[in-house]
Structure 1
Amino acid sequence: MAPVDLLKVNSEELAKFLDSFDYVMSDCDGVAAFTDLVAEYTGRTPIGLGKPSKLYGEFAMKRAGVTDASRVLFIGDMIEQDVALGKNVGFKTLLVLTHFTEEKMLAHTIQPDFYAPCLGSLVPILNKHGKKYLCNL
């Protein structure tokens, strides 16, 4: 379905568009006012699919065909979103220190399983030990 320009759609067309959905989903970040408006109109409660929601991680696992969360390494650069998501779902976590110093990360209440100064620092490790885990996409 093509994007809808809400400024050019009359209320009857908008109503038909909104009524065509079974669920209202939101990434929970920056769209609350619009989500509230759509939820009020449709009479449906939004399902939040944002990090660090466990539901978000379970959705990603299902989409990827993963059944064992402990076999997932979730790599991210934000403690509150990425590492917390991994912890909520049962993933192993690797924090890339893009937004944090090592000292600040170590002082945080949420701790990753692993951390690295940058993604590039993982290349020698993968070249030496991880070739069987790499695949071409």
Structure 2
Amino acid sequence: MTARMPIDLVNLSDGEFKEFVGKFDVFFCDCDGVLWSFRTPFPGGCESINALKTIGKRVYLVTNNSQTNREEMLQKCEKIGYKISIDDILTSTYVAAHYLKQTGFDKTLYVIGPEQLGKDLDEVGIKHIGIGPDVIEGGLYEHILKRYKLDEDVGAVMISFDRHFSYIKLCKAVNYLKNENIKYYATNADNCFDMPQFNFLLPEVGCFIKAIEAATKRTPEILSKPTTHICNVIAEDAPPFDPSRALVIGDTLSSDMAFGKNAGYATLFVETGVSKMEEIKEIVEKINTGDEDEELKKLVPDYCVSSLDEFYKKFSKIF
């Protein structure tokens, strides 16, 4: 099987672009690196989403960012000018909470994660412990002897972004996970969050996962992109749709593009974030020179555009 480079939307004629938009009823759009970078909106992002909704498309904003929940995302979007509702937003913490609800999880969840995840778990009635600061008081061994205790009702561990990540939290997660009957989940597995305005990389959930793996040899079930648990969560309330008429818009090959392929959706790569066209060229070359890795093939997008600003310029000429 040969691979080809994605079709650049800028090179489509007006008729071809109109046909492209008409192929899809449902759009899943990543946020960081596509619509904005940290707190800075990208030109054309808001306009593109609003324009798609204006012509009757279903649009979901889907983020792996576990530092925010749907309410906070909605506030941010409304300030920018997005014409969306809370039902159009899917965060990794929301998906994780609803996944546990769907599976009938009825024990206690040990969480390394943010307050936002706690709120989403509370909303679906999942009992949880662990959120908030947990630090060693005094010497390590004295703390373990006097204060360290595992909850016997814990049935799973969930890892997410946690600004209070600490050695004692690591100890608890590792010791819960010694028991193979304890399930292990992560809201997402992103290694870092890039803040180019500050020339700063923020270590993310993937770093916590690696620390736990080093001690336990266990890896979690990932509940956000690139897995398809999002699709099951949407199916709870939204009307069904044909997967062949859905498009994923994203900037990261390993999460956004792979998610699209796993779900049977078409994919549109936007080069304003994490991944670059050069990476796609290298992957295509590997495939065409004999690499048969099926996971590698999922990273090649169907379409590409340099930015949503370019997408909107094309869109606004036709619709």
2:208 aligned to which of 31, 34, 41: 31
Report what 1:19 is aligned to. Answer: 154
- Paired amino acid for 2:261: K
Report what 1:62 is aligned to. Answer: 235
Sequence identity percentage: 23
- Paired amino acid for 1:125: K
- Aligned-partner SS, 2:235: helix
Report what 1:133 is aligned to. Answer: none
Structure index of larger Rg: 2
1:70 Cα offset (Å): 2.5
Contact 1:75 1:94 (C-alpha < 8 Å) held by counterparts: yes
1:80 Cα offset (Å): 2.2
List structure 1 segments (4+ residues) > 3 angstroms apart after TM superposition: 8-12, 20-24, 33-37, 59-64
Unpaired segments ≥5 residues, structure 2:
1-117, 120-130, 138-146, 158-182, 190-205, 285-298
1:126 Cα offset (Å): 2.9
Report what 1:85 is aligned to. Answer: 259
CA distance in 2, matches of 1:106, 1:78: 14
Contact 2:244 2:266 (C-alpha < 8 Å) held by counterparts: yes
Greater share of residues in helix: 1
TM-score, length of structure 1 as denominator length: 0.61
User: CA distance change for structure 1 residues 64 and 125 in 2, over 3 Å: closer, same or farther?
Assistant: farther
- Aligned-partner SS, 2:267: strand
CA distance in 2, matches of 1:50, 1:58: 10
User: CA distance change for structure 1 residues 50 and 114 in 2, over 3 Å: closer, same or farther?
Assistant: same
Where do residues 33-52 of structure 1 align in structure 2 (5 Å cutoff)?
A: 33-34=211-212, 46-52=220-226
User: How many residues of Structure 1 are paired with residues of Structure 2 in the alignment?
Assistant: 121
Report what 1:6 is aligned to. Answer: 134
TM-score, length of structure 2 as denominator length: 0.31
Residue deviations 1:85-122 (CA, integer Å, cap 9, x gap)? 10111111110123313x54244243212100112111
Contact 2:156 2:185 (C-alpha < 8 Å) held by counterparts: no
Unpaired segments ≥5 residues, structure 1:
131-137
1:105 aligns with 2:242: no
Moved more, 71-80 or 61-70: 61-70
1:96 aligned to which of 263, 270, 277: 270
